Amino acid sequence: MKSYNIAVIKGDGIGPEIVDEAIKVLDAACKGEDIELNYEEYLMGGCAYDATGNPLPQETIDGAKKSDAILFGAIGGEKWDTLDRHLRPESGLLRFRSELGVFANLRPTNVFDELLDASTIKPEVLKGVDLFVVRELTGGIYFGQPREKLEDMAYNTMVYTKEEIRRIAVVAFESAMKRRKEVCSVDKANVLEVSQLWRETVEEVALDYPEVKLSHMYVDNCAMQLVRNPRQFDVILTGNIFGDILSDEASMISGSIGLLPSASVGGLVGLFEPIHGSAPDIAGQGISNPIATVMSAAMMLRFALGEDKVANKIEKAVANVLRDGYRTKDLAEYGAKEVCSTTKMGSIIADYVAKI
């Protein structure tokens, strides 16, 4: 039997609820596959600050680095918004990514036929969308030095090295080789020197992948094209701040931010989490959608553990559950046969997994 150690960070708000359901589905998927997952829970975010005075305790860093993968919920909330910046939950997450060295954020977006009407975009524009955003995660304006806030002025600097660009480009091209072999690199090379270096470096990496078609697009045009014709994209490669914005825009194509997973990889240990936030306004009500976290768990199986067969089981089960009309409250008006609580949705997916 294969055994893996999974660091579990549930976080704040709805984080504990959705992670519990993902673990339920993981256990159902691994049963009978000679795979054992051992979970160890750690604190990060507002809950960690409340317990220790630190949004990212050293124990969490150490435990995560010893694990095979990290399953993460969500952090943050208004309760901690008045803290100094370095003590806020979000600062803990940024530092955590840096500690792990994860530099590539992977965000798939596809549209289930049963939920074509859930998006504000016309169904005929959405049908068949299957795109993959590769976002650089540890460089750019969020991390560039110097940075300073003065009384009447503040500034941040966008910085990328050639090596940082090269390594994220390799991830994008390798991803494209497993898909439709197209990469669209998104930048602002008409006005930013950083983007000019980005474009030059991406073109150099492209020479190693002659089978992949490379195109370039300015970020403002890409934002428009994602709404106008999202089917044109296969793999979108972009930097930190552009990727932050574009991947959230892409998420709304699916109709609910509660459906989409993400992976942060490339470092010591992969971090797998839903793209949505902690939603403290609905925490404890049992109405949050666990599917994004369940799908993040499937990405964990595939990208961190190499267990593609089990990942496929989970993804197929989610598709079948939606096909058969099970919905959480956020999707209740779109073909719902039954509106489920968070825990019931997790249980239904787990039951479907067991039948595959």
Q: Point out the catalytic residue in the list 27, 68, 142, 213.
A: 142
Q: Which helix (H) or strand (E) holds 294?
A: helix 291-299
Closest CA to 129 of 26, 250, 305, 300: 250
Residue with tokens 């039954």: 338
pLDDT given for residue 253 in this prediction: 85
Is 152 part of the annotated catalytic residue set? no
Q: Point out the catalytic residue in the list 220, 308, 324, 351.
A: 220
pLDDT given for residue 98 in this prediction: 87
Where do the domains of the chain lie, and which CATH numbers do they carry? 1-107+257-356 (3.40.718.10), 120-254 (3.40.718.10)
pTM of this prediction? 0.90
Residue type, 21: E
pLDDT given for residue 182 in this prediction: 98
Residue 198, CA distances (Å) to 85, 146, 187 in order: 30, 20, 7
Q: Point out the catalytic residue in the list 4, 10, 187, 188.
A: 188
DSSP code string of 36-67? EEEEEEE--SHHHHHHHS-SS-HHHHHHHHTS
Q: Is 238 helix (H, G, I), strand (E, B) or coil?
A: strand
Closest CA to 167 of 232, 82, 101, 108: 101
Is 220 part of the annotated catalytic residue set? yes
| Two tokens, residue 218 | 């300015």
Residue ranges of the chain whose pLDDT lies below 50 = none
Q: Point out the catalytic residue in the list 20, 27, 68, 248.
A: 248
pLDDT given for residue 94 in this prediction: 87
Is 209 part of the annotated catalytic residue set? no
Burial class of residue 153 in the structure, from the number of CB atoms within 10 Å of its CB (0-12 exposed, 13-18 middle, 19+ buried): exposed
Q: Point out the catalytic residue in the list 27, 68, 130, 244.
A: 244
- Beta-carbon contacts of 246 under 8 Å, excluding residues fewer than 6 positions away, are 133, 135, 186, 219, 222, 223, 226, 236, 238
pLDDT given for residue 272 in this prediction: 98
Is 68 part of the annotated catalytic residue set? no
DSSP code string of 1-42? -EEEEEEEEEESTTHHHHHHHHHHHHHHHHTTTTEEEEEEEE
| Two tokens, residue 247 | 């991947």
Q: Is 332 helix (H, G, I), strand (E, B) or coil?
A: coil
Is 248 part of the annotated catalytic residue set? yes
pLDDT given for residue 161 in this prediction: 97
Residue with tokens 């604190």: 43
